[in-house]
Amino acid sequence: MTYNALARYRRRPAQEPSLRLIAFQLRHNWFCLPLTVARRVIAPTAQTSAVQLGLAQLYNENIPIMDIADRVYQTAPLLPGYSAVSAAAAQPAPSLQSIVVIDSPRFGLLGLLTDGIPCLKRARQSAFSPVPATYLMINHLQGISTLVTLNEVEPPLFLLEVDALLP
């Protein structure tokens, strides 16, 4: 019996498709966006005065900055398991914020104000699951429809839909 490379190739299981994500923290939860919409991450040290104005400048173009946490959480009560004291302690200081510049198909370039420094993640197709509408309604969350569970060690990510947050 001959054993060749073609036979080995046919026996391999098919690789599950994956998506590269940019993950960032907003208050006490983690959120993500497809990496294809992200254009740049701007460090807050160079943009301190711009954040106060609500504009950032990138390649000689003014980009509106949106406090995305206010849009996602609305004026929501804290999620279960969090007290006002623990949430205040968990929320990073304003100096630890960064701006993720994205290219929205509907609104063009937008700067999203995030807590901390974003990181890159890779998620398999099986990691995506819908968030129950009741959960979103109870916790006054908007702009979210998908939960990304990478593994049992890392916190789950909410896949953000930026266009759904803007009127």
pLDDT digits (tens, 9 = 90+) for 63-79: 898 888 888 987 644 55
* Residue at 155 is within a domain: yes
Q: Binning pLDDT at 50, 70 and 90, where does residue 122 land?
A: very high
* Residue at 26 is within a domain: yes
Higher pLDDT, 154 or 93: 154
* Residue at 8 is within a domain: no
- Write out the two tokens for 114: 């995030």
* Residue at 160 is within a domain: yes
* Residue at 13 is within a domain: no
Q: What is the pLDDT of residue 1?
A: 52
* Residues 158/144, Cβ–Cβ less than 8 Å: yes
Higher pLDDT, 71 or 92: 71
DSSP letter for 37, please: G
Q: Binning pLDDT at 50, 70 and 90, where does residue 134 land?
A: very high
**What mean pLDDT do residues 94-98 have?**
71
Q: What is the pLDDT of residue 21?
A: 96
Whole-number average pLDDT of the chain: 80
Higher pLDDT, 60 or 8: 60
Q: What percent of the chain has pLDDT over 70?
A: 73
Cβ neighbours for 99, distance < 8 A, ≥ 6 positions apart:
41, 42, 44, 47, 51, 56, 65, 111, 112, 113, 114
* Residue at 85 is within a domain: yes
**What mean pLDDT do residues 104-128 have?**
91
* Residue at 11 is within a domain: no
Domain that residue 80 falls in: 18-164
Measured distance CA(49)–CA(104) in Å, rounded: 24
Q: What is the pLDDT of residue 83?
A: 46
Residue 43 amino acid letter: A
Residue 104 amino acid letter: S
Q: What is the pLDDT of residue 14?
A: 64
pTM of the model: 0.76
When divided into structural domains, the chain yields a total of: 1
